[in-house]
Amino acid sequence: MHARIWTYATAVALVLLWALPVLAVESLPADPTASDAVKQKTTVDDDGPRPFRDVDLFSGHSLRQSSKDRRIAAGVNFHAAPVPFVAAKAMDAAADKVSAQYPDAKALITVLKNANSQRVLDLATAKNVDQTKAQLTADLKAAGITPTPDQQKAIDNINASNIQSVADLAQVAATPSNALAFGVEPWLEYNFGTWDITAYVPLAAFYSQGSASMELGNINLDLRVGSRKGYTAAVGYTGGLSLYLPTGTKEANVLALSNVLVLPKYLHEYASIQPYGIIGGQLSFLTLMLRAEFTHMQAVRDNPLYSSVGYANWGASMVIRAVILDLVGEIDGLVNLYNAPAMQDILATAGIRLHAGPVRLGMAARMPITSNPSSLYAQSFGTAFGNVAKINVLLQAFMTF
């Protein structure tokens, strides 16, 4: 079934990319033989601002721009959130330290990610071998996870001689750092006329306990086609395809927890493909957009819990233009299709953007309207200790030419 969904989505994306350039040819200008008295500005080739000019969103994709308004654009996206997390490097270091007494330490780490680490720590510190093993088994069952042979071996091999090693691992897992996790994403767009391409290089950064680090996320490319019809009252449509390469590091996974809407950018185990479509309408200073996306993530390294993950994302947005300021409101919803049990959130984003010549400066805040138990996120993300952020601060700065 998953293969059929994947094949269908890919076929739809390819048809969109093939067909929409034909539809995207902009309307011809008004009849040049008509008198000045009867000429009407009804097409996008007339003088003056074209519809949907500089109508950019903070979440997901937005309607593409006319090449007459934006041939080249470059900028940086920034999002930050306070996230308690246990660094993968800290867990690896703890596992290396106890490996002589407990060779199954690496496998136990993958169990602890889906367990009540504090409860396991209490039981292991009390040297209660049987209840420690029972707790780990029960936690996996409660999360709906069938242990792999290595994970089951790690649980079965806990005994009186290595219970302190288990306690040492659980101590690290149960003591998250209060970190500021933020994504920094430089990007460059070129508009060819009927289609455009944008390249993104996401970076995952962390600041905790006086130290900072930066990790590479998944480099991605976005291809779009589309057009707009009308002038004062207008409609527009865009079809696109985003590709995410598995270039990220382990630590970058924490950004997936801090901002679930950018999941494919930071889960380093997966290569992803994301076809999407957008329709929009504009009347004077008001713009409305509806968006639908399908994301398929295919595991290509590090043996995560699920070899493939699929989910849908719907979005509705409103942009109100007030001279040089845009007021932006967005609602995004996530729908689990396969192997993504936590992708059921609804999130709201509100922001403001300044237009100053070719410069665009934006700031927004995003918060979840609904949320899921942490065990569901552990199932979905599989390889990252952490908690989903309650708020994200979003900043954008770019220039258009």
Contact in structure between 76 and 199 (CB atoms under 8 Å)? no
Q: Which residue has the tokens 């929009």?
A: 280
In a domain, 32, yes or no: no
CA angle 194, 198, 204 (to 5 degrees): 160
Cβ-count burial 127-144 (b if 16+ within 10 Å, e if not): eebeebbebbbebbeebe
Are residues 79 and 158 located together in one domain of the fold? no
Contacts of 164 (CB under 8 A, 6+ apart): 101, 124, 127
Contact in structure between 296 and 308 (CB atoms under 8 Å)? yes
In a domain, 331, yes or no: yes
H and E: helices and strands count for the chain:
10, 14
In this prediction, residue 128 carries a pLDDT of: 95
Contacts of 299 (CB under 8 A, 6+ apart): 269, 270, 306, 307, 308
Kind plus residue range of the DSSP H or E element containing 195: strand 195-200
pLDDT tens for each residue of 241-278: 999 999 999 888 878 767 888 889 999 999 999 999 99
Are residues 210 and 296 located together in one domain of the fold? yes
CATH code of the domain in which 346 resides: 2.40.160.40
Least confident range from 177-181, 308-312, 335-339: namely 177-181
Picking from 127, 156, 173, the residue at the C-terminal end of a domain is 173
In a domain, 151, yes or no: yes
Q: How far is CA 204 from CA 175, 181, 266, 282, in A?
A: 21, 7, 8, 36
Q: What are phi and psi of 126, to 5 degrees?
A: -80, 5
Average pLDDT of the segment spanning 80-96: 81
In this prediction, residue 35 carries a pLDDT of: 44
Average pLDDT of the segment spanning 294-300: 96
pLDDT at 309 > cutoff 70: yes
In a domain, 33, yes or no: no
pLDDT tens for each residue of 367-378: 989 877 655 665
Are residues 190 and 307 located together in one domain of the fold? yes
Are residues 230 and 123 located together in one domain of the fold? no
Are residues 216 and 260 located together in one domain of the fold? yes
Neighbours of 262 (CB within 10 A): 24
In this prediction, residue 244 carries a pLDDT of: 98
In a domain, 28, yes or no: no
pLDDT at 83 > cutoff 80: no
pLDDT at 22 > cutoff 80: no
* Structure confidence at residue 11 as a pLDDT band (50, 70, 90): very low
Picking from 108, 139, 173, the residue at the C-terminal end of a domain is 173
DSSP 349: E
Are residues 192 and 92 located together in one domain of the fold? no
Picking from 173, 195, 216, the residue at the C-terminal end of a domain is 173
* Structure confidence at residue 88 as a pLDDT band (50, 70, 90): confident
Contact in structure between 224 and 195 (CB atoms under 8 Å)? yes
What are the start-end ranges of the H helices in 76-128? 88-98, 105-112, 117-125
Are residues 92 and 77 located together in one domain of the fold? no
In a domain, 34, yes or no: no
Are residues 263 and 349 located together in one domain of the fold? yes
Are residues 201 and 310 located together in one domain of the fold? yes
Are residues 209 and 353 located together in one domain of the fold? yes
| One-character DSSP codes across 206-268 | EEETTEEEEEE---EEEEEEEEEEESSEEEEEEEEEEEE-S---GGGHHHHHH-GGGHHHH-T
pLDDT tens for each residue of 121-132: 999 999 999 999
DSSP 368: E
Closest to 190 in 3D by CA, of 201, 202, 198, 182 = 198
CA 117, CA 106: separation in Å to the nearest integer? Answer: 15
In this prediction, residue 41 carries a pLDDT of: 46
Q: What are phi and psi of 236, to 5 degrees?
A: -145, 160
| One-character DSSP codes across 321-340 | EETTEEEEEEEEEEEEEES-
pLDDT tens for each residue of 210-251: 677 889 999 999 999 999 898 879 999 999 999 999 999 988
In this prediction, residue 89 carries a pLDDT of: 76
CA 177, CA 382: separation in Å to the nearest integer? Answer: 19
* Structure confidence at residue 57 as a pLDDT band (50, 70, 90): very high
Are residues 318 and 206 located together in one domain of the fold? yes
Domain count, the chain: 2
Helix, strand, or coil (residue 124)? helix
| Segments forming the whole domain that contains residue 306 | 2-21+43-83+177-400
Are residues 147 and 224 located together in one domain of the fold? no
Q: How far is CA 379 from CA 110, 214, 374, in A?
A: 11, 25, 9
Mean pLDDT over each residue of the chain, to the nearest integer: 84
Least confident range from 18-22, 208-212, 355-359: namely 18-22
Contacts of 274 (CB under 8 A, 6+ apart): 241, 242, 243, 244, 264, 293, 294, 295, 296
CA 323, CA 49: separation in Å to the nearest integer? Answer: 13
In a domain, 230, yes or no: yes
Helix, strand, or coil (residue 177)? strand
- pTM confidence score: 0.74
In a domain, 51, yes or no: yes
In this prediction, residue 179 carries a pLDDT of: 75
| One-character DSSP codes across 273-295 | EEEEEEEEEEETTEEEEEEEEEE
Greatest mean pLDDT among 1-15, 266-280, 380-394: 266-280
